[in-house]
A and B are shown apart, each in its own frame.
Chain A
Amino acid sequence: MVSTIEDDIHHAFADLPWLLEPGDLLVVNESATLPASLPATSHLGEIRFNLSTRFADDLWLAEPRWSPSRPGPLPLNMNETLQIGEAKAVLLQQYPGIPRLWLTRLDTPAGLLMAKHGEPIHYSYAPAYPLSDYQTLFSRFPGSVEMPSAARPITPHVLDTLRERGIGIVGVILHTGVSSLEIEDNTVEHQALYPEVFKVPEATANAVNATHARRGRVIAVGTTVVRALETAWTPKGVRACSGATGLYIHPGTSVHVIDGLLTGLHDPITSHLAMLSAIAGLARVKRAYTEAIRNRYLWHEFGDSHLLLRQTAN
């Protein structure tokens, strides 16, 4: 579905190259998905231990859950030790404002644990598919715990057609943490967001600025790309930038860089949906979602795609 100011029109995904104009630029997330869901034993018995955000090999933000379908927060204690196979994970502190997440010290590098015990994080609405199903054509740098899924439907054929049409494709990196699927607070303004590690390379910053200079459109492929690009924005344009970003884009924030967003369909009261409203306005998002529901669109990472354009093509 393509949503513009005027309307919402249904298309097949393979139409994408023809929905954009030569000179437009797609920006994809090159972060690859890790098998970040680990089985663990706590004083509560067998639980799921989903890694979320890597600070260091032995220091992670993580989400203990009852099971893939049953979230926390679990009644765990500070300094409690979880067993993951032979390894130990010590819960250091609860994340401020997000009690289901814990800062955790591992006695074994997470890479080894994931290689041995990990599977992709999944929730009640989908089974665990093989890890390769959670990668896109652009997945190059492992670090996300949930698939940056917006680029998933881009096939080699679509990619070739985009290039033939003169539509540029460049990458940023943003390693996703666990999604805010089960929300802590029922207002968008109070969504606590944790920082995510990102990088906007110089070549990408230059491509974005050049696209804008010749009045092309910059289309983010995924909300993660919006977060990275908007973090790297300055009044003079986008700059090369890396680190950790806690930027929360909601209807109260300005969106400076992107002219459109290709994304999936998001749950109510999530930070993703708040971002969509910041980009297109709440009324248009509501209109589009009504249309999507009426046409039985599929939600989540293996679902349908939605291209939101801030304005129609010139």
Chain B
Amino acid sequence: MKGVALVTGAGRGLGRILATFLAGQGHKIVITSRTAAELDEFADSLESTGVRVVAIPGDITDAVHRTRLLQETRAIGGLSLLVNNASDLGEIPRPELAFASLQRLRLILETNLVAPLALIQEALPQLEQTRGLVVNISSDASQGGYERWGIYGSSKAALDLASKTLASELKLRHISVVSVDPGDMRTRMHQDAFPDEDISDRPLPEVTLPFWAWLVSQDPERITGMRYQAQGTLWEVPA
């Protein structure tokens, strides 16, 4: 039996694909997203295949919701895989950083940086017990410096550094942390980011499945601190 996985932002896109895979692989899963209808429909479709799933709609910036999620993971055996996938792209069209609303910047950091960190902090006792793995979903925007990607990119860059730092800090407690850039995919978020573009040439989020299969099969303690590109040509295990 695999362990317990929590996937945020699981209602659609990458989160949904990953949660489906983890469930099929035998994980007990807890899923959450803000859009209740989407999440429930997904949970129903999973359950129709005989998979047990706990679906709790809500906003991960809400401390009460986070506590609830982690109560559920504890109740079914203790969290061993936390996937911080939910993120906020921010205003569309994306503003230039130089003129962006600072209030909105704070909101995006709240979802993309503070909430994932809060989940990790609160999940530490469970993760320590299971020698678990935290996967923070990043983006190439975290390194690109692309025009009009400053807000989202900064939040992901901060999350990348948080991942790397936590990996160092939590090593002796046998909790592992990686960040993963899934690459361009044909998802709602990607379409939102490029509202006027035809994105049908981008691969569906299923393209990342081999990476997830590989990642969850690694010894977490050997890969902690790494940043991976799910569509990259090398997934390295450091010596």
Residues of A at under 8 Å CB distance from B? 55-56, 59, 61, 79, 90, 92-93, 95-97, 103, 105, 194-195, 202, 231, 240-248
Residues from chain A with a CB closer than 8 A to the CB of B20 are 93
Determine the chain A residues whose CB is within 8 A of the CB of B24 once the complex forms.
Answer: 79, 90, 92-93, 105
Could you say which residues of chain B place their CB within 8 Å of the CB of A194? 210
Nearest 5 pairs of A and B residues by beta carbon: A56-B217, A243-B236, A55-B217, A92-B24, A243-B237
Q: Are B214 and A195 in contact (CB under 8 A)?
A: yes
Asked whether A103 and B209 contact (CB < 8 A) given A55-B214, A79-B24, the answer is: yes
Known contacts being A55-B213, A55-B217, A194-B210, is A243 close to B21, with CB within 8 Å?
no
A-B pairs with beta carbons under 8 A, tally:
69
Q: Contact at B217–A243, with CB atoms within 8 Å?
A: no
Taking CB atoms, residues of chain A closer than 8 Å to B26 are 105
Closest A residue, CB atoms, query B203: A96
Question: Is B103 interfacial (CB 8 A cutoff)?
Answer: no
| Contact residues of A: prevailing secondary structure | strand
A37 CA / B49 CA spacing, docked (Å): 28
Q: Find out whether the CB atom of B237 lies under 8 angstroms from the CB atom of A231.
A: no
| Contact mask for chain B residues 222-236; partner A; CB cutoff 8 A; 1 contact, 0 none | 000000000011111
Tier of interface size on chain B: 20 to 34
B25 near A59: Cβ-Cβ < 8 Å: yes
Q: How far is the CA of A240 from the CA of B239 in the complex (A)?
A: 8
- The smallest C-beta distance from A150 to any residue of chain B, in angstroms, reads 22
A96 contacts B237, C-beta separation under 8 Å? no
Interface residue from B210, B233, B239 paired with A96 (Cβ < 8 Å) = B210
- Complex Cα distance, B228 from A195, in Å, reads 14
Interface status of B63 (Cβ within 8 A of chain A): no
Which residues of chain A come closer than 8 Å to B239, judged between CB atoms?
A: 202, 240, 242
Chain A nearest CB: distance from B87 CB in Å?
22
Complex alpha-carbon distance, A50 and B219, angstroms: 26
Q: Are A59 and B217 in contact (CB under 8 A)?
A: yes
Interface residues of B in 190-239 (CB under 8 A from A): 203-204, 206-207, 209-210, 213-214, 216-217, 232-237, 239
Q: What is the bound-complex CA distance between A55 and B206, given in angstroms?
A: 17
Q: Which residues of B contact A103 (CB under 8 A)?
A: 21, 209-210, 213
Closest to A230 in B: B233
A61, A202, A245: the one within 8 Å of B234 (CB): A245
Inter-chain contacts of B236 with A (CB < 8 A): 241-243
Q: A231 — which chain B residues lie within 8 A by C-beta? A: 233-234
Of the residues A79, A105, A240, A245, contact of B233 by C-beta under 8 Å = A245
With a cutoff of 8 Å between Cβ atoms, the chain A residues found around residue B206 in the complex are 93, 96
- 19 further A-B pairs in the complex, CB-CB below 8 A; given A92-B21, A105-B26, A241-B234: A55-B217, A59-B217, A90-B24, A92-B25, A93-B20, A96-B204, A97-B203, A97-B207, A103-B210, A195-B210, A202-B239, A231-B233, A242-B239, A243-B237, A244-B214, A244-B235, A245-B233, A245-B234, A245-B235
> What CA separation (Å) do A148 and B165 show in the bound complex?
41
Q: In the complex, what distance in Å separates the CA atom of A96 from the CA atom of B21? A: 13
B233 and A246: CB pair below 8 A? Answer: yes
Determine the distance from Cα of A246 to Cα of B217 in the docked complex, in whole angstroms. Answer: 17
B58-99 with Cβ < 8 A to chain A: none
**Nearest B residue to A57, CB-CB:** B217
Give the contacts of B158-185 with A (CB-CB under 8 A): none
Q: 12 pairs across A/B with beta carbons < 8 Å? A: A55-B216, A79-B24, A93-B20, A93-B24, A105-B24, A194-B210, A195-B214, A195-B235, A231-B234, A242-B237, A244-B235, A247-B234
- A243 B235 Cβ-Cβ under 8 A: yes
A232 to chain B, nearest CB (A): 9
- B49 to A246, Cβ gap below 8 A? no
- Whether A105 contacts B25 by the Cβ 8 Å rule is yes
B184 to chain A: closest CB distance in Å? Answer: 14
B21 near A93 with CB under 8 A, answer yes
